[in-house]
C-alpha cells in the first residue's frame, strides 16, 4: 500500500476563504515548487520558512500571488518533503493551482493519504493518526481535549505499557520453555500471574472510560418522545433557544425525525424530535410502535414528555412502555397550567422535571438532569483518567487482549503447559498491536484512512 509518488491536494475546504492551501508531499515536492514558484530558488529556501512570490503557469502567466513553504524530510507532517502553497482562497484560483501541480507530475491524493504516509513513515502510530480525524470533527471542547490527548500519544503510551508488561511475562515463560530450569533458575509463576493480573485491572480501568469517550466523540442521542400535542416541538425549540452553543446542522438527518445539535456540560448532544413524524408515528398503530421502539433503541436518553395539565392517556402509557426507566427522564410539560401529575407522574419512572416549554421555564433544571445522567456514569473517574478510550476499534482490541490475559491466568492456575500460556500472551500482544498499527491488517488500515477527507 506504500507508494512513493508525489501527492497533491487542497488542504483547506472548498469555497471562498482568506487563504486556500495546496499541499504537496513526496520526493518531487521541491522540484514541483521550483517549476512553478517565482520568488526564491527552492534550493535557497530554508525549511519551515514562508517565502513570498508568484505561482506561474507553464506559459509564464501568473496564477496567483502566494506564500510558499518547504518542510524538508524528515521533519514534516508526512516525513517526506512537503510543500504548502498559500493561495487566495477562491475556487477558481485553487482549481488552477491544483491543476498546475498535477500537470507537473503530482498525483491527486486519496482521502487521508497525507496522514497515511505519516503513519507509514513512523511519524504517527495508528491511534494517533486516527486521533487526527477526531480532532477535526470534535464537537465540544472536552471532545477536542480527548482527541488531542490521543494525538499526543497518551493512548499509545498506555497500550505500550500493557504490551511491555505482557512481553516481560512472555520472555520469562519462553525462557523456561527453551531452557531447562537448572540453566535459567526456576520460574516464579506466581509473580508472573500477579503482574498479569495487575495489567488486567489496568485494562479494565481503561475500558471503563469507553462510554464517556464514545459519548464525547459521537455525542449523546437525546430523543424527545411522547404522544401528539404534549409539546415536543415546543420543548425542542425552547431547548435550542436556551442553549447558546448551538452547533451546525447534523448531516445525515433522516426524513422522519428532526435533529438539531447543541452542547450541554461539554457533551455534544444530538436532539431528536419525533414530532416530525406525527402522521406516521401514531402509537396506536403497530407500525408507529415499531418505529418509536427503533428510535428509543438508538437513544442514549429519552425525554418522555407528558402534558402535566391533563390526566394520563392510554397513548402516554404506551409511549412509556417502550422506554427503559433507567434511560428515561420524564418531562412534565405545560406546568404554567395546574400540574395534576406532579405527585405521581408515572409508575416506575423515578426521575422527572417540570417545565413549561411555552414560557421557557424549568429548562435549566432539565439541562442539569440530562448532564447529571451522563456525568454519573463518568464519576467512576473517566474524566479524571488521563486517557479516555473513544474508538470502538480500540475498545474491541483491549477487550480481546484482556480476554487472552484472563485465559492465561486461568490456565496458569490449572498448571497448563508453558507453551499454552505463551500462546495466550502472544495473542494479547497481537490484539494490542492492532491499536498502534503494528499488527493491523492492510484492509483495516485502508478503511481507516479512507474515512479521512482529501488533503488530510
Ligand atoms: P407536539 O405535538 O408534542 O410536538 O406538541 P407541540 O409542541 O406542537 O405543542 C402542542 C400544543 O401545546 C401547542 O398548541 C403548544 O402551543 C402547546 N404547548 C406546548 N408547550 C406548552 C406549555 O408549556 N404550556 C402551554 N400552556 N401550552 C404548551
User: DSSP characters for 325-394?
Assistant: GGGEEEEEE-TTS--SSSS---TT---EEE-BTTTTBSHHHHHHHHHHHHHHHHTTTTTTSS-----HHH
The answer on pLDDT for 429 being more than 70 is yes
Strands 301-307 and 220-225, sheet pairing: parallel
Q: Give the 3-state secondary structure of residue 290.
A: helix
230 CB near ligand 1 (under 6 Å) = yes
Per-residue pLDDT tens over the stretch 329-356 = 999 999 999 988 877 778 888 889 999 9
* Mutation pick for ligand 1 pocket among 225, 233, 234, 341 (CB with most ligand atoms within 8 Å): 234
Residue nearest to atom 17 of ligand 1 (CA): 231
Per-residue pLDDT tens over the stretch 158-173 = 999 999 999 999 999 9
Tell which residue, 437, 401, 441, 392, has the closest CA to residue 134.
392
Residue nearest to atom 12 of ligand 1 (CA): 231
pLDDT at 368: 93
Per-residue pLDDT tens over the stretch 221-230 = 999 999 888 9
106 CB near ligand 1 (under 6 Å) = no
357 CB near ligand 1 (under 6 Å) = yes
Backbone dihedral angles phi then psi of residue 281, each to the nearest 5 degrees: -95, 35
333 CB near ligand 1 (under 6 Å) = yes
Fold that domain 222-379 belongs to in CATH:
Rossmann fold (3.40.50)
Residue recorded with cell 508568484: 54
User: 7-123 belongs to which CATH class?
Assistant: alpha beta
Q: What is the mean pLDDT of the chain?
A: 88
358 CB near ligand 1 (under 6 Å) = yes
What residue ranges of the chain are covered by domains with CATH 3.40.50.300? 222-379
What CATH superfamily classification does 129-209+387-436 receive? tRNA modification GTPase MnmE domain 2 (1.20.120.430)
d(CA 357, CA 362): 8
227 CB near ligand 1 (under 6 Å) = no
What residue ranges of the chain are covered by domains with CATH 3.30.1360.120? 7-123
Per-residue pLDDT tens over the stretch 367-417 = 999 988 887 654 344 455 578 899 999 999 999 999 999 999 999 999 899
Residue recorded with cell 517549476: 35
Average confidence (pLDDT) over 55-83: 97
Q: Which comes out higher in pLDDT, residue 233 or 38? A: 38
275 CB near ligand 1 (under 6 Å) = yes
What residue ranges of the chain are covered by domains with CATH 1.20.120.430? 129-209+387-436
Edge-to-edge order in the sheet of strand 220-225: 258-264, 267-273, 220-225, 301-307, 328-333, 352-354
The answer on pLDDT for 276 being more than 50 is no
Per-residue pLDDT tens over the stretch 150-206 = 999 999 999 999 999 999 999 999 988 877 666 667 788 999 999 999 999 999 999
pTM of the complete model: 0.77
pLDDT at 250: 42
Amino acid at each position: 500500500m506504500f507508494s512513493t509518488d508525489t501527492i497533491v491536494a487542497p488542504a483547506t475546504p472548498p469555497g471562498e476563504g482568506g487563504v486556500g492551501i495546496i499541499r504537496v508531499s513526496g520526493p518531487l515536492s521541491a522540484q514541483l515548487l521550483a517549476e512553478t514558484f517565482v520568488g526564491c530558488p527552492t534550493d535557497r529556501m530554508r525549511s519551515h520558512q514562508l517565502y513570498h512570490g508568484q505561482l506561474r503557469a507553464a506559459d509564464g502567466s501568473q496564477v496567483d500571488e502566494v506564500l510558499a513553504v518547504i518542510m524538508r524530510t524528515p521533519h514534516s507532517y508526512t516525513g517526506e518533503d512537503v510543500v504548502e502553497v498559500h493561495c487566495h482562497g477562491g475556487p477558481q484560483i485553487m482549481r488552477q493551482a491544483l491543476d498546475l501541480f498535477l500537470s507537473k507530475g503530482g498525483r491527486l491524493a486519496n482521502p487521508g493519504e497525507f496522514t497515511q504516509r505519516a503513519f507509514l513513515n513512523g511519524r504517527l502510530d495508528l491511534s494517533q493518526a486516527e486521533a487526527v480525524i477526531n480532532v477535526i470533527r470534535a464537537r465540544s471542547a472536552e471532545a477536542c481535549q480527548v482527541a488531542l490527548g490521543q494525538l499526543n500519544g497518551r493512548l499509545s503510551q498506555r497500550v505500550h505499557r500493557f504490551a511491555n508488561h505482557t512481553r516481560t511475562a512472555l520472555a520469562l515463560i519462553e525462557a523456561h520453555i527453551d531452557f531447562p530450569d537448572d540453566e535459567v533458575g526456576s520460574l516464579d509463576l506466581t509473580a508472573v500471574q500477579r503482574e498479569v493480573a495487575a495489567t488486567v485491572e489496568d485494562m479494565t480501568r481503561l475500558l471503563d472510560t469507553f462510554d464517556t469517550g464514545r459519548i464525547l466523540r459521537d455525542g449523546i442521542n437525546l430523543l424527545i418522545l411522547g404522544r401528539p400535542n404534549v409539546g415536543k416541538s415546543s420543548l425542542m425549540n425552547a431547548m435550542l433557544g436556551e442553549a447558546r452553543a448551538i452547533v451546525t446542522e447534523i448531516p445525515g438527518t433522516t426524513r422522519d425525525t428532526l435533529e438539531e445539535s447543541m452542547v450541554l456540560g461539554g457533551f455534544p448532544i444530538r436532539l431528536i424530535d419525533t414530532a416530525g413524524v406525527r402522521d406516521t408515528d401514531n402509537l396506536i398503530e403497530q407500525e408507529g410502535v415499531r418505529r418509536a421502539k427503533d428510535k428509543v433503541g438508538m437513544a442514549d436518553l429519552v425525554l418522555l414528555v407528558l402534558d402535566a395539565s391533563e390526566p394520563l392517556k392510554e397513548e402516554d402509557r404506551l409511549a412509556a412502555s417502550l422506554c427503559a426507566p433507567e434511560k428515561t427522564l420524564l418531562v412534565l410539560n405545560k406546568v404554567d397550567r395546574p400540574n395534576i401529575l406532579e405527585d405521581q407522574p408515572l409508575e416506575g419512572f423515578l426521575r422527572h422535571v417540570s417545565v413549561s416549554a411555552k414560557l421557557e421555564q424549568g429548562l435549566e433544571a432539565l439541562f442539569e438532569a440530562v448532564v447529571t445522567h451522563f456525568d454519573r456514569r463518568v464519576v467512576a473517574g473517566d474524566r479524571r483518567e488521563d486517557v479516555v478510550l473513544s474508538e470502538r476499534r480500540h475498545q474491541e482490541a483491549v477487550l480481546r487482549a484482556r480476554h487472552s490475559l484472563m485465559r492465561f491466568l486461568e490456565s496458569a492456575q490449572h498448571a497448563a503447559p508453558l507453551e499454552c500460556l505463551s500462546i495466550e500472551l502472544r495473542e494479547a500482544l497481537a490484539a494490542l498491536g492492532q491499536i498502534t498499527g503494528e499488527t493491523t491488517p492492510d484492509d483495516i488500515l485502508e478503511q481507516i484512512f479512507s474515512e479521512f477527507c482529501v488533503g488530510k
